[in-house]
Amino acid sequence: MEIMRAKHLLTLLGGLLFAALLIGCGPKYPNCNDDGHCEDHGEYCVNNLCRQCADDSHCNAKNACMVCGSSNSCEMAAGCCLSDLDCRGGACSKASPSDAVGQCVSCLGEGPSKYCPSGQICRAGQCVPDVECTSGSECPPGKACVEGRCVVACALETAYFDFNEALLRRDARSALDSNVNCLAKRGQSIAVEGNCDDRGTDEYNMALGERRARAAGKYLKKLGVTVDLRTVSYGEERPVCTDSGESCWGRNRRVELIAD
């Protein structure tokens, strides 16, 4: 009887020992069933594998800019920074000095910046060429863009015509000749506007004004002008003088160059 009891006890103890061994032997790293199997490595169980993180909170505790990436590894969020050191030569811009994190930008402030190379300034967080303008359209009226600065624009001379003529007189060609350098400095597109005196019908004067504008535009192109020239006729609609007589009519028979 004592022998039977001893055998039964040994069998029971053996079963308990075997069960304990089974419980104590979990999946081998990096395999896992739960976070407990990864705890010794400071990791988390994701799809039965131990990984550095399962969500952003597991990375934020290490670094406020870190997020949990697609491979369940902690990585820096794009553009996020704690200091300038995180920005590869750029600057860490923070909404307020008390903020822990910011966004990487090329530079800080407006104007000259220690972050920008020579010849560049900071504008809206980016280093850009230190110029006031890149084209005449960026300058106020009466100024032209010359080598990146808005400067007082040169005056464009007017070409005048004989009565009922679209041929360029000598003085008209001379006026257009003097405009070549000025057009190059302005760098703006130009409206070549043809005008007439008030004699003749509206329809005839509109056509005559167009012929005058085209003659001036063609001559300027032959001189090597490269800016965009747009011809337009106003006929007798825009007189500079409203008196009768040749001294007034002659001032209205003209082509003007106007910056668009």
Give the SS3 label for residue 149.
strand
At 208-250, the pLDDT tens digits run 999 999 999 999 999 999 989 999 999 999 999 999 899 999 9
pLDDT digits (tens, 9 = 90+) for 21-60: 445 567 899 999 999 999 999 999 999 999 999 999 999 8
- What torsion, rounded to 10 degrees, do the Cα atoms 87, 91, 93, 96 define? 120
Question: Cα separations (Å) of 125 from 70, 100, 116, 118?
Answer: 30, 19, 10, 16
The per-residue pLDDT for 153 is 73
How much is the pLDDT for 22?
Answer: 47
Mean residue pLDDT across the chain: 88
The owner of tokens 């909404």 is: 95
Sketch out the chain's domains with CATH numbers: 27-77 (no CATH), 80-129 (no CATH), 155-259 (3.30.1330.60)
In this prediction, residue 260 carries a pLDDT of 73
Strand partners, 160: 254
11 band by pLDDT with thresholds 50, 70 and 90: low
State how far the alpha carbon of 197 is from the alpha carbons of 204, 242, 247, in Å. Answer: 11, 9, 11
**Tens digit of each residue's pLDDT (9 = 90 or more) over 50-79:** 999 999 999 988 889 999 998 999 998 999
pTM: 0.47
pLDDT digits (tens, 9 = 90+) for 86-130: 998 899 999 888 898 999 999 998 888 888 988 899 988 999 888
Nearest to 198 by CA among 251, 162, 252: 252
Does the pLDDT value for residue 132 go beyond 90? no
